[in-house]
Amino acid sequence: MPPERRVGFAVMGLGRLALEEILPAFAECKAARPVALVSGSPEKARAVAAQHGIAADSVYGYDEVARLSENPAVQAVYVVTPNGRHRDNVLAVAKAGKHVLCEKPMANTSAEAREMVEACRAAGVKLMIAYRCQYEPFNREAVRLVRSGELGRPRVLEATNTQVQGPADQWRLKAALAGGGALPDIGLYCLNGVRAVLGEEPVEVFARIVNPQGDDRYAEIDETTVFMLRFPSGAIANCAASYGAHESKDLRIRLEKGWIDLENAFAYRGQRMRIARRKGDDEAVEELRLGAKNQFALEIDHFADCILQDHEPRTPGEEGVQDQVLMEAIYRSAREGTPVAI
Ligand code: NDP
């Protein structure tokens, strides 16, 4: 698509994800281009604008978001700020009349998330939550294969997302800005991933949190959260998120007539998928090969296409609300030590 017909995005919050993944991903987009920045660091923003061919007068501060309404080149804003800022940021963008792509987790609470959905509806703008794995080809194939029924009914799923957390002086360890710890940051991929694969909603959750003793980093948030989800079909998902264990981001699905192992399911790259199919008393194992694609570019292009063609995104605000509701139930279960019905 020629540049002038592509959807113009403002990127809000120039931190690690925006600088290392999102802005570079625009180079691989077919329907989107970066045209503005919103940042609290004007000097950094000017340098980033120059690097990405964004006009110097299209750099805004957080208190200038209303002025986006005067810039017709901006059709959408990608919110990439800390979780606890998403609600205010999304409300401001909606008020400026721009479509919003908001990073995960959507917000700190389900009440905030509902407010965001309502604000975007009232403003007549689209809201999508950036669940990048739902745009990643191997994850898509896992969803397709499970839902096709070819391997029978799914019975047991295992989703793990672990990565060792850094030092204490960062927003991810502060409840007000992060909304929680390992659960909303990385466990959310397990939660959203198993819901996507099964295409149904859990009816019960059961969770445990384990925090290391005497580690100040986990005074406010969870280090390790393990949770079980029971689905109406009878499928069970065991999920684990931890800031204490070496990186692993895998999804394993056990079905009546086979299994699917998706290594690095929740990573930026490096997915590897093996599929086993029962053959009589034996099984045939196949490794699936798919071309490498940038999942951030696929996700951004999906939202751009939704704007151009007036479609509802695959992962709308309501999808984020549901995950917030479930995360609240997971925390409640861990607190009370009992299963919680949804
Ligand atoms: P960073 O801390 O690296 O960057 C956040 C940026 O937000 C800052 O650089 C700053 O940019 C801006 N900001 C605005 N208000 C604040 C504040 N009060 N404190 C700190 N920064 C602030 O975070 P990440 O880039 O890692 O994460 C940003 C969002 O993206 C989070 O919601 C996170 O969950 C999500 N994320 C998603 C991933 C994915 O794979 N989809 C992976 C990593 C993160 P500026 O100086 O320009 O204002």
Residues 128 and 144 in one domain: no
Residues with CB under 6 A from ligand 1: 13-18, 39-41, 80-83, 85, 103-104, 130, 132, 171, 177, 185
Position 178 in a domain: yes
Q: Name residue 161's beta-bridge partners.
A: 241
pLDDT digits (tens, 9 = 90+) for 89-143: 999 999 999 999 999 999 999 999 999 999 999 999 999 999 999 999 999 999 9
Low-confidence ranges of the chain (pLDDT < 70): none
Name, in order, each residue with C-beta under 8 angstroms of 279's C-beta and a sequence gap of 6 or more: none
Q: How far is the CA of 156 from the centre of ligand 1 (A)?
A: 34
CB contact at 8 A, 261 and 197: no
DSSP letter at 226 equals E
Give residue 169's pLDDT.
85
Q: How far is the CA of 14 from the centre of ligand 1 (A)?
A: 7
Residues 126 and 255 in one domain: no
Q: How far is the CA of 15 from the centre of ligand 1 (A)?
A: 5
Closest-lying ligand 1 atom to the alpha carbon of residue 131: 41
Which pair of tokens denotes residue 268? Answer: 């930026």
Residues 36 and 153 in one domain: no
Q: How far is the CA of 172 from the centre of ligand 1 (A)?
A: 9
Which pair of tokens denotes residue 92? Answer: 């401001």
| Total residues found in the chain within this entry | 342
Read off the CATH number of the domain in which 120 is found: 3.40.50.720
Give residue 167's pLDDT.
85
Which residue CA neighbors atom 1 of ligand 1 most closely?
15
Q: What does 113-171 look like in DSSP terms, one character per residue? A: HHHHHHHHHHHT--EEE--GGGGSHHHHHHHHHHHHTTT--EEEEEEEEE-----SSSG
Give residue 131's pLDDT.
98
What's the CA gap between 308 and 289, in Å, rounded?
Answer: 31
Read off the CATH number of the domain in which 231 is found: 3.30.360.10
Position 317 in a domain: no
Report ipTM for this prediction. Answer: 0.99
Q: How far is the CA of 108 from the centre of ligand 1 (A)?
A: 14
Residues 145 and 284 in one domain: yes
Residues 110 and 151 in one domain: no
CB contact at 8 A, 133 and 271: no
Give residue 318's pLDDT.
98
Which residue CA neighbors atom 2 of ligand 1 most closely?
15
Position 319 in a domain: no
Give start and end residues of each alpha helix (H) in the chain: 16-17, 23-25, 42-51, 86-95, 110-123, 137-148, 175-178, 182, 188-198, 295-309, 317-336
Q: How many CB atoms lie within 10 A of CB 180?
A: 24
Which residue CA neighbors atom 10 of ligand 1 most closely?
13
Q: Which residues are catalytic?
A: 104, 189
Residues 125 and 159 in one domain: no
Which residue CA neighbors atom 17 of ligand 1 most closely?
82
CB contact at 8 A, 211 and 224: yes
Pocket test for ligand 1, best of 52, 54, 78, 80 (most atoms within 8 A of CB): 80
Position 219 in a domain: yes
Give residue 187's pLDDT.
98
Cα 232 to the center of its chain, rounded Å: 24
Residues 168 and 125 in one domain: no
Classify residue 158 by burial, with Cβ atoms within 10 Å: 0-12, 13-18, 19+: middle
CA distances 162 to 25, 77, 93, 191, Å, are 24, 30, 33, 14
Residues 254 and 331 in one domain: yes
CB contact at 8 A, 47 and 74: no
Which residue CA neighbors atom 6 of ligand 1 most closely?
15
Position 55 in a domain: yes
Residues 335 and 287 in one domain: yes
Position 226 in a domain: yes
Which pair of tokens denotes residue 131? Answer: 């669940």
Range of the domain at 123: 3-132+296-311
Residues 116 and 163 in one domain: no
CA distances 329 to 9, 189, 192, 339, Å, are 35, 16, 14, 9
Q: What does 74-101 look like in DSSP terms, one character per residue? A: --EEEE-S-GGGHHHHHHHHHHTT-EEE
What's the CA gap between 127 and 99, in Å, rounded?
Answer: 6
Give residue 162's pLDDT.
98
Counting the structural domains of the chain, the total is: 2
Position 320 in a domain: no
Pocket test for ligand 1, best of 14, 63, 65, 103 (most atoms within 8 A of CB): 103
Position 316 in a domain: no
Q: How far is the CA of 6 from the centre of ligand 1 (A)?
A: 25
Residues 7 and 128 in one domain: yes
Residues 122 and 263 in one domain: no
Which residue CA neighbors atom 30 of ligand 1 most closely?
80
CB contact at 8 A, 129 and 102: yes
What's the CA gap between 218 and 310, in Å, rounded?
Answer: 44
